[in-house]
């Protein structure tokens, strides 16, 4: 069996849903089909919730657009009149519930996390209901019944023991086509509806593939696969045909929004390959992600370049840090306690400073909590005030074949030097699968262009 996940754009219009139908019905083996909400609906549900909670009556207009969008799709994808009326009735019942919840939020001017999670769950509940009536012999399941979460640091994380057990029970015997809403789940402790985070439908598909020992996980999206660089910036970027799990993880953690990063881990664990495919170009080969590392003659030594433009560098510095044990421990403990995520770290061997990268939105809090943590050392003159440099960008080159290949860093920094771009900080882990560096944001485009030319085109 295999698991196919179709994203929001793939189920976002009449034509795309009909492509999904064609793709799924052509498969002979049993399949589980995971769907996202209709493209743009999750954002719209969240925006509408905010409006309603602020007492803005304009939420009603947004809501009526959400309703119209679903009814239009049903009109276009379900030919049989009787089936269509039945689906309309069921969808309207869900939309009525949703309208009542919005009304409540509007009246009491309050939107709790629990209510927001409930509202946003309607996206996938509606899309899965519709698509299950389009694909021949599809059986609809409710992911809230078998994807279970527990709370950790204010986040819902998957309760794998229970989830795996429930999935095995639910899908035995396995129907020819099972239709499953992505993203949504429920709490092990309270039974309340939860979700796996934005982009979480990919993760739903991966969890199912892993629990049921699928032979492949297919992620159907609206691009041909992972690209060598962001095609909006680099017009000569092209599709990468093969990646290892590690390379895919490196690339999607960092900018490339092809898959939701947590997706890779469960299937990696069981060595189930992932294929990235395009619903709008179904015959394209896509990107194949597996354990095997293939070194192809004449191919570039790196696999891809990824970047994030939202970068702030924080530096904790002071001569009093040199040789003192526990400074980094205190830095990262303080950041963790305040829920600040760090995505790059660099420390010179002199130990005189530690620099790390966070999102711009986290910068002020990071500076404040670190200044508090080291208040005594600062007062004694052992350490300086923590400084933040905003409006930067981080770029990473990724590829497992960089391992033990000399000259890659030389080529990278030579290229940047010739382009007149100064590197503010850099990091390479000992796994040698990623070299990351930080530059001024205004140089990002130029940096990506020069590196892409130098590694992929020459
Ligand atoms: N609908 C959810 C979102 O937009 C989950 C997903 O599409 O993967 O984040
Ligand atoms: Mg997605």
Give residue 254's pLDDT. 67
- Among 33, 35, 37, the mutation site with the greatest number of ligand 1 atoms within 8 A of its Cβ is 37
Mean pLDDT of 325-352: 89
Mean pLDDT of 58-79: 97
Give residue 324's pLDDT. 81
Asked if the model's pLDDT at residue 319 lies above 80, the reply is: yes
Q: Which of 120-124, 167-171, 297-301 has the weakest average pLDDT?
A: 297-301
* 206 Cα: distance to centroid of ligand 1 (angstroms): 14
Return the ligand 1 atom nearest residue 260 CA. Answer: 8
Sequence-distant (6+) residues with CB within 8 A of 272 are 209, 210, 213, 214, 215, 216, 217
Asked if the model's pLDDT at residue 296 lies above 80, the reply is: no
* 183 Cα: distance to centroid of ligand 1 (angstroms): 6
Return the ligand 1 atom nearest residue 8 CA. Answer: 7
As for ligand 1, residues whose beta carbon falls within 6 Å of it are 7-8, 36-37, 42, 123, 182-183, 198-202
Residues with CB under 5 A from ligand 2 (ion): 7, 199
Pairing of strands 148-152, 155-158: antiparallel
Return the ligand 1 atom nearest residue 197 CA. Answer: 9
Give residue 255's pLDDT. 63
Asked if the model's pLDDT at residue 309 lies above 90, the reply is: no
- Euclidean distance between CA atoms 231 and 28, whole angstroms: 35
Return the ligand 1 atom nearest residue 204 CA. Answer: 8
Give residue 325's pLDDT. 86
Per-residue pLDDT reduced to its tens digit, 6-57: 999 999 999 999 999 999 999 999 999 999 999 999 999 999 999 999 999 9
Structure token digits, residue 236: 């000569």
**CA-proximal residue: ligand 1, atom 6 (nearest):** 199
Asked if the model's pLDDT at residue 295 lies above 80, the reply is: no
Long-range pairs for 115-121: beta carbons < 8 A, 24 or more residues apart: 115/49, 116/46, 116/49, 117/192, 117/193, 117/194, 117/195, 118/192, 118/193, 119/45, 119/46, 119/48, 119/49, 120/42, 120/45, 120/46, 120/49, 120/195, 121/183, 121/184, 121/193, 121/195
Higher pLDDT, 346 or 3: 3
- Euclidean distance between CA atoms 271 and 289, whole angstroms: 10
- Euclidean distance between CA atoms 182 and 223, whole angstroms: 19
Mean pLDDT of 57-70: 97
**CA-proximal residue: ligand 1, atom 9 (nearest):** 198
Give residue 92's pLDDT. 97
Phi, psi angles (nearest 5°) of residue 141: -120, 165
Q: Is 242 helix (H, G, I), strand (E, B) or coil?
A: strand
Give residue 256's pLDDT. 62
* 407 Cα: distance to centroid of ligand 2 (angstroms): 36
Structure token digits, residue 156: 């819902």
* 120 Cα: distance to centroid of ligand 1 (angstroms): 9
Asked if the model's pLDDT at residue 174 lies above 70, the reply is: yes
Give residue 386's pLDDT. 95
Higher pLDDT, 458 or 324: 324
Q: Are 169 and 227 in contact (CB under 8 A)?
A: no
Q: Which ligand does the CA of 182 lie closest to?
A: 1
- Euclidean distance between CA atoms 254 and 343, whole angstroms: 9
- Average pLDDT value for the chain: 94
DSSP label at residue 455? I
Give residue 169's pLDDT. 98
Give residue 176's pLDDT. 97
Return the ligand 1 atom nearest residue 183 CA. Answer: 5
Asked if the model's pLDDT at residue 425 lies above 70, the reply is: yes
Side-by-side strand order, sheet with 344-347: 344-347, 353-358, 304-317, 387-398, 434-440, 425-428
Give residue 349's pLDDT. 77
Percent of the chain, pLDDT > 70?
A: 99
Mean pLDDT of 387-393: 95
Give residue 328's pLDDT. 92
Phi, psi angles (nearest 5°) of residue 194: -135, -175
- Euclidean distance between CA atoms 384 and 55, whole angstroms: 47
- Among 6, 183, 194, the mutation site with the greatest number of ligand 1 atoms within 8 A of its Cβ is 183
Q: Which ligand does the CA of 34 lie closest to?
A: 1
Per-residue pLDDT reduced to its tens digit, 402-422: 888 889 999 999 999 999 999
* 419 Cα: distance to centroid of ligand 1 (angstroms): 39
Residue 111 CA: distances (Å) to CA of 37, 48, 59, 191? 21, 11, 14, 19
Q: Are 3 and 215 in contact (CB under 8 A)?
A: no
Angle CA 328–330–335, to nearest 5:
95
* 222 Cα: distance to centroid of ligand 2 (angstroms): 10
- Euclidean distance between CA atoms 158 and 187, whole angstroms: 9
Give residue 57's pLDDT. 96
Q: What residue has token string 């189920």?
A: 11
Give residue 73's pLDDT. 97
- Euclidean distance between CA atoms 322 and 372, whole angstroms: 20
Is the dihedral angle over the CA atoms 157, 158, 160, 165 positive or is it negative?
positive
* 240 Cα: distance to centroid of ligand 1 (angstroms): 24
Return the ligand 1 atom nearest residue 123 CA. Answer: 1
Number of Cβ atoms within 10 Å of the Cβ of 153: 8
* pTM for this model (two decimals): 0.89
Per-residue pLDDT reduced to its tens digit, 187-227: 999 999 999 999 999 999 999 999 999 999 999 999 999 99
């Amino acid at each position: 069996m295999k698991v196919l996940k179709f994203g929001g754009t793939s189920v976002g219009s009449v034509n795309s849903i009909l492509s999904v139908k064609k793709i799924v019905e052509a498969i002979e083996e049993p399949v589980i089909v995971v769907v996202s909400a209709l493209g743009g609906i999750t954002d719209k549900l969240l925006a509408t919730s905010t409006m309603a909670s602020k007492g803005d009556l304009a939420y009603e207009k947004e809501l009526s657009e959400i309703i119209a969008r679903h009814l239009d799709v049903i009109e276009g994808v379900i030919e049989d009149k009787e089936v269509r009326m039945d689906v309309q009735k069921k969808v309207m019942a869900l939309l009525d519930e949703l309208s009542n919840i919005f009304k409540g939020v509007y009246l009491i001017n309050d939107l709790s996390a629990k209510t927001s999670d409930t509202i946003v769950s309607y996206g996938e509940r509606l899309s899965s209901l519709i698509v299950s009536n389009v694909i021949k012999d599809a059986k609809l399941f409710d992911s809230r019944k078998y994807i279970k979460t527990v709370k950790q640091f204010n986040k819902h994380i998957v309760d794998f023991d229970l989830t795996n057990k429930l999935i095995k029970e639910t899908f035995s015997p396995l129907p020819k086509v099972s239709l499953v809403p992505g993203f949504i789940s429920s709490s092990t402790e309270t039974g309340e509806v939860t979700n796996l985070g934005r982009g979480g439908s990919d993760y739903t598909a991966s969890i199912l593939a892993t629990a049921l020992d699928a032979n492949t996980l297919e992620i159907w999206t609206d691009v041909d696969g992972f690209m060598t660089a962001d095609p909006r910036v680099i017009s000569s970027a092209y599709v990468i045909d093969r990646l290892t799990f590690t390379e895919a993880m490196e690339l999607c953690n960092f900018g490339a929004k092809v898959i939701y990063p947590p997706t890779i881990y469960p299937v990696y664990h069981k060595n189930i390959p992932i294929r990235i495919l395009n619903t709008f170009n179904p015959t394209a080969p896509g990107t194949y992600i597996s354990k095997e590392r293939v070194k192809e003659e004449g191919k570039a030594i790196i696999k891809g370049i990824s970047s994030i433009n939202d970068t702030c560098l924080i530096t904790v510095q002071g001569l009093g840090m040199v040789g003192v044990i526990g400074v980094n421990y205190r830095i990262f403990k303080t950041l963790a306690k305040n829920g600040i995520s760090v995505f790059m770290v660099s420390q010179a061997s002199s130990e005189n400073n530690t620099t790390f990268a966070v999102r711009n939105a986290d910068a002020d809090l990071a500076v404040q909590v670190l200044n508090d943590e080291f208040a005594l050392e600062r007062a004694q003159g052992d350490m300086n005030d923590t400084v933040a440099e905003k409006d930067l960008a981080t770029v990473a080159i990724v590829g497992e074949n960089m391992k033990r290949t000399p000259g890659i860093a030389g080529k990278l920094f030579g290229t940047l030097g010739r382009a007149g771009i100064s590197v503010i900080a850099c990091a390479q882990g000992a796994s040698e699968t990623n070299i990351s560096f930080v530059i001024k944001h205004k140089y990002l485009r130029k940096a990506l262009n020069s590196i892409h030319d130098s590694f992929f085109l020459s």
